Amino acid sequence: GAVVSQHPSWVICKSGTSVKIECRSLDFQATTMFWYRQFPKQSLMLMATSNEGSKATYEQGVEKDKFLINHASLTLSTLTVTSAHPEDSSFYICSARDTRSVSYEQYFGPGTRLTVT
Amino acid sequence: GQQLNQSPQSMFIQEGEDVSMNCTSSSIFNTWLWYKQEPGEGPVLLIALYKAGELTSNGRLTAQFGITRKDSFLNISASIPSDVGIYFCAGRAGTASKLTFGTGTRLQVTL
């Protein structure tokens, strides 16, 4: 149980275009999902917290108009990188919190590698 | 954003050796978690700690929640090649709070 998937696993796009990344909790419901970004040889940095049915909460320094988050259902959150630039190239990882779990643990997806050319 | 300090930054050990790594914070956490990340993958939860002083094992892995609530330790006994990866600690202040990740310890195991 507690499996999180991401799609696509990797994507290459041209500068100026938009890219959508999906995060799904496959066997549990998640009222809260999180989006992280990880640059090579660095740790995970939280970008935003996504709550089902409400607006996402963005971390300081993350542009909400550039990184659009939609959490339309209890099993799906999407991150759209708008007008992507080469500096947006990174490994994007989502996690989902199991609402049934008393421990409130997050389960991570396998990540999406974005390359902007 | 805030990051937790992990040490060592990297380790090169021989198969069969024991490994120790730690994580320190300037602030108190109520939960400490240890994750392993392999190349091109997301982190996988190894051990979760919920009480100060708690010592928890998962196979060859043992982790402890420091008494001060500002640190945690992970030990791996009798390392094997599949232990290779990056180990991250993460702390959480409250039950529903966000995670703060450590800087990571990169482990390499040689035969």
Residue-wise pLDDT for B79-104, tens only, equals 999 999 999 999 998 877 789 999 99
| The pLDDT value given to residue A1 | 65
Position B2 pLDDT exceeds 80: no
Residues of B in contact with A91 (CB under 8 A): 40
| The pLDDT value given to residue B1 | 59
**Omega prior to A8 cis, within 30 of 0:** yes
| The pLDDT value given to residue B94 | 80
Looking at the complex, report in whole angstroms how far the Cα of residue A42 sits from the nearest Cα belonging to chain B. 7
Flag residues of chain A having pLDDT under 70.
Answer: 1
Position B40 pLDDT exceeds 70: yes
Per-residue confidence band for B29, with pLDDT thresholds at 50, 70 and 90: very high
**Omega prior to B39 cis, within 30 of 0:** no
Strand B44-49, strand B99-101: pairing: unpaired
How many angstroms separate the CA atoms of B45 and A102, rounded?
A: 16
Nearest chain B residue to A97, by CA: B96
CB contact under 8 A, B41 and A107: no
Residue in A104, A105, A109 closest to B42 by CB: A109
Any B CB within 8 A of A81 CB: no
Q: Which residues of B touch A (CB under 8 A)?
A: 1, 3, 33, 35, 40-45, 48, 50, 88, 92, 95-96, 98-99, 101-104
How many angstroms separate the CA atoms of A2 and B96, rounded?
A: 18
CB contact under 8 A, B43 and A49: no
| The pLDDT value given to residue B104 | 96
CB contact under 8 A, A93 and B43: yes
pLDDT tens per residue, range B47-61: 999 999 999 999 999
| The pLDDT value given to residue B31 | 93
Summary mean pLDDT of chain B: 94
Residue in A34, A107, A111 closest to B98 by CB: A34
Helix, strand, or coil here: A117?
coil
Best residue in B9, B10, B36, B37 for a mutation probing chain A (most A CBs within 10 Å):
B37
Average pLDDT, integer, range B62-85: 97
Per-residue confidence band for B73, with pLDDT thresholds at 50, 70 and 90: very high
Average pLDDT, integer, range B36-48: 94
Strand A57-58, strand A10-13: pairing: unpaired
